[in-house]
Amino acid sequence: MTDEAYEDILYEEDGRLAFVTLNRPEKLNALSNNLRGEVMHAMRRAEANPEVGVIVLRANGRAFSAGYDLTPTRQAGAGSPFVNEWSLLPDTGTTHPGQQQWARHVVMTNFIIWELAKPVVAQIQGYCLAGGTELASICDFRIVATDAQIGYPPVRAMTTMDMLWTPWFLPPAKAREMAYVGDSISGEEMVQLGWANYHVPTDQLGEFTEKFARRMAHIDNDMLMYSKRAVNRQYEAMGIRAGLWSGTEIQALSAQRPAASEWGRHVREEGLKAALEWRDGPFRDFRGAYTEAHANRAVASADGSKPGEY
């Protein structure tokens, strides 16, 4: 069973599995509001079908997702049935009015997957960055390509993580490293750290993930639901909800720090690609790997001056 109603994802049901596929490969599956809205609609659709037992979240192209779509396309979702008509965001029951509500909205949206009655398996290749890591982390399982690159570069110049998943999924030292610096970690190492379940070569990723999901799908839906709920409630007793919510407040504060304005200035004056090269330049990875990137740029400040000269 397939459906052509979606623009940014593909949806397919095959026996006990439902496949939700991010389908903006030319944009490295950047998470636009419409794409995110379609993903959550498809998740609920799979949940509603009693024939489906397990959901696989995957992506077309060379990347799972390079993160949230940073281009100024807020109105692009206007008229879409998959976003709220007022906020143009995936519908979470509130329009999220006011400034600096993005992180709160992200967590509310991702908790839709957390509360699904059915397990979700994320199949990850290539880049899995920023918002892509948040989407993958809220899934129940992660199968990664050995050479996948999982990172969070926005923390270098933009804001703290929108959904502070690292302390819940990584050992303390690595949780801090990812949250402070955002460097890429390979799929192989992310298995060793406990974030992912298995790593396999890219050309075996789809076959391995499907076999993993179909094996789980031999279990009846109610049993899977109660197992998922039992594990979720243990994390909630340990404080995961309170922790993620408090992280959204810190993210809003980080967006108001004096040096935050320099990121926006680079975007306005030079364009998004140049701003990303400025952000990643000293780290020599992601957009900073380009020869024109600012390898020796000054530390960010409120007006581009030296630190302390605000």
The predicted structure's pLDDT at residue 288: 86
Measured at the CA of 214, the angle between CA 212 and CA 220, to 5 degrees, comes to 120
pLDDT band at 222 (very low <50, low <70, confident <90, very high): very high
Per-residue pLDDT reduced to its tens digit, 65-84: 999 998 865 556 677 899 99
The predicted structure's pLDDT at residue 3: 59
Q: Residue 273 pLDDT > 50, yes or no? A: yes
* pTM listed for this prediction: 0.94
Per-residue pLDDT reduced to its tens digit, 154-166: 999 999 999 999 9
Per-residue pLDDT reduced to its tens digit, 84-103: 999 999 999 999 988 899 99
Residue 204 CA: distances (Å) to CA of 2, 101, 125, 191, 211: 24, 40, 11, 16, 11
Burial class of residue 167 (count of CB atoms within 10 Å of its CB; 0-12, 13-18, 19+): middle
Q: Provide the residue type at 295 as one letter.
A: A
Residue 124 CA: distances (Å) to CA of 106, 196, 200, 204, 265: 20, 10, 10, 12, 33
Q: What is the mean pLDDT of residues 47-61?
A: 98
The predicted structure's pLDDT at residue 76: 61
Q: Residue 58 pLDDT > 80, yes or no? A: yes
Q: Residue 182 pLDDT > 50, yes or no? A: yes
Fold of 2-229: 2-enoyl-CoA Hydratase; Chain A, domain 1 (3.90.226)
174-180: long-range pairs with CB below 8 Å, 24+? 178/151, 178/152, 179/152, 179/155, 180/155
Report the chain's mean pLDDT, rounded to a whole number: 93
The predicted structure's pLDDT at residue 261: 92
pLDDT band at 309 (very low <50, low <70, confident <90, very high): very low
Per-residue pLDDT reduced to its tens digit, 5-42: 899 999 999 999 999 999 999 999 999 999 999 999 99
pLDDT band at 45 (very low <50, low <70, confident <90, very high): very high
The predicted structure's pLDDT at residue 305: 57
